[in-house]
Chain A
Amino acid sequence: MRRLITNPMIIKELRQRLRERRAWLLPTLYLLVVSGTTLFAYYLVIGEQAGGTQREVQGADIGIAIFMTVIFTQLVALLLMAPVFSAAAITIEKEQRTLPGLLTSLLTTPQIWWGKFVVAVLFLLLLLSSGIPLLTLSFAFGGVEPMQLVEAIGCTVLVLASICTIGLWCSAMFRRSVHSTASCYGILLVLGVVTAVIFGLLVSHWSDVNNNSAQLAPPAYVQAPLFLNPFYPLMAILPGSGEAFTYPLPSCLLFAAIGCLAAAFAMRRLQRSGEQV
């Protein structure tokens, strides 16, 4: 266990990544995007009030709107970045011919994998934590409890970690970063879009069978494809959508299982990648 924490791979990777001359650029752009969408959400809610909707907009409505906007914008942005950080992590070692040096050292394949994984997740966590002050803005307006913030961040971290393991698996499978990154985005597309389409078809069929009973939440078997959707755990725990999506735990467990499987396959592949180098 101590070796996993004092892993030389982590020190090397962090040093290389944070030493990049444009290391500051990505967090800056990220915060600009998240801040921009937060402002947009704020003015949208205020605009509803100015537009004279039936109900007066409460502070809690603004708080929830800000919270939901920030947390989903963060998830979208980080999901788009996760393959970049993870899917090239091992292929870059193959491309710059440094993998044989690692494989013939006394570093074990779990140590190499762990070093790559920790650094990919840490960079995403850095971005995620830089958005927390924006998330806490919602507390000033009300409507969101601190526990919901913790749960939302927990779900986001779980999903991102799982996607990173998939990225690392792709990275262990392919020789070129471009191929592994494209494959990881492909898998992400399947998880994010294809599951939603399947869910849509199942809901449509289920509504027809149940005489369009829109007030009922779809049963577990209808929601099941969405358990693999990266947005589902958040949708199931956040205020406002909890009535329709009611199974956060199976979805979280599924993502944890996918992460463990991808990690096992990646390590196995890495062990055999002496053939590739």
Chain B
Amino acid sequence: MIEVKDIHKIFRGGRGLKGFSLNIETGELVGLVGPNGAGKTTLIKILATLQPADSGSAAVANFNVSTAPASVRASVGYLPDVPGVYQDTRVDEFLEFFADAFRLKEPRRSAAIERALGRSGLEDRKHDYVEQLSLGWKQRLLLAKILLHEPKVLLLDEPATGLDPLARLNLREQLKQLRAEGITVLISSHILADLEDICTRVVFIADGKNVIDAQPPSAAGEALPAAIRCQIDFEGAAAAADSVIARTAGAKVLERKDGRLVVELQGGANEASAFLRDLLATGVTVVHFDARGPGLEERYRRAFADRPS
């Protein structure tokens, strides 16, 4: 659905994209993560046809962004990092304007506006001026606006910036819903916890280049990575558990509390399973066992630890 090949866009001062590539399949919700100035916004602007690339190619929904920009725009919903609204228009007028701007004809136009009002939860406030809405409601309105023409792809640049926790949760739920509807989403964000919760895949970018293509642990059916972190909640003394840890090669205690141990094991799911079996065989009363690979935050730290932010 989105295909970027060796794309370059260099700005004065040397920042920009320097050979970035990306391939996103239909229905994926992909997070784009990287430090400030890594090239996230530039990539999204190129895909939204706002900026031309210096070289390389980019295509959205099988339309090349430089040769068929109108077709790309018809397929894409774009939410910029600092989106603007017409404060002095009413909510319904705002949506009507963009429905007309996307050349929606009746009856599709009215249906799209009704759907947008329903999706944003603004049916009761459709005659309010946009300036009367809170930031969270404005963000919902903007998300509804970019969905008016039923795009196949959403390009969201820092959509959660400035939102309160409840609005962020709402946004997350909306994005999960859109993914369930089969819409492909590319989202740039610094809020890793949100990405970890909603993304099927996270792409790291730094200095305009690919860094790592990391699968978050929440994605179904993935293999756990080489190092695995196990949290064990148990009843009784820790001595039996300690003996199991001592005889497990490469095991390291990260955290120790009453009735809880956090242990890092070398290996993956099989090693974690063997470790649990060993604990049970030794007579440790395990009440909770949670084995996870390193989270997105940990991966981010590993990927960008040596880079100045």
Chain A residues with a Cβ under 8 A of chain B:
8, 11-12, 15-16, 19-20, 93, 96-107, 274-275, 277
Inter-subunit contact B97/A8 (CB<8 Å): yes
Q: Min CB distance, B120 to chain A, in Å?
A: 16
Interface centre among A16, A98, A100 (most CB of B within 10 A): A100
Inter-subunit contact A100/B86 (CB<8 Å): no
- Bound-state CA distance A106–B98 (Å) is 9
Inter-subunit contact A107/B101 (CB<8 Å): yes
Q: Is B48 an interface residue (CB 8 A)?
A: yes
Neighbour of A101 across the interface among B87, B98, B149, CB < 8 A: B98
Contacts of B73 in A (CB 8 A): 104-106
Inter-subunit contact A106/B102 (CB<8 Å): yes
Query: For residue B104, which residue of chain A has the nearest CB?
Result: A106
- Bound-state CA distance A129–B29 (Å) is 56
Given A12-B89, A15-B89, A274-B50, A97 contacting B97 (CB threshold 8 A): no
Contacts of B82 in A (CB 8 A): 97
Inter-subunit contact A275/B85 (CB<8 Å): no
Given A98-B86, A107-B101, A274 contacting B51 (CB threshold 8 A): yes
Give the secondary structure class of B's interface.
loop
Query: For residue A103, which residue of chain B has the nearest CB?
Result: B50
9 contacts between A and B (CB under 8 A): A12-B89, A15-B93, A100-B50, A100-B78, A101-B80, A106-B70, A107-B101, A274-B51, A277-B80
Given A15-B89, A96-B87, A277-B50, A106 contacting B101 (CB threshold 8 A): yes
Inter-subunit contact B83/A104 (CB<8 Å): no
Chain B residues with a Cβ under 8 A of chain A:
45, 48-51, 70, 73-74, 76, 78, 80, 82-89, 93, 97-98, 100-103, 145, 149
- Bound-state CA distance A24–B89 (Å) is 19
Interface centre among A11, A98, A105 (most CB of B within 10 A): A105
Give the secondary structure class of A's interface.
helix
Neighbour of B101 across the interface among A8, A19, A99, A275, CB < 8 A: A8
Q: Min CB distance, B88 to chain A, in Å?
A: 5
Given A104-B50, A104-B73, A104-B78, A12 contacting B86 (CB threshold 8 A): yes
Contacts of A275 in B (CB 8 A): 50-51
Neighbour of A16 across the interface among B45, B76, B88, CB < 8 A: B88
Inter-subunit contact A8/B100 (CB<8 Å): yes
Inter-subunit contact A105/B101 (CB<8 Å): yes
Query: For residue B155, which residue of chain A has the nearest CB?
Result: A104
Q: Min CB distance, B8 to chain A, in Å?
A: 15
Inter-subunit contact B84/A104 (CB<8 Å): no
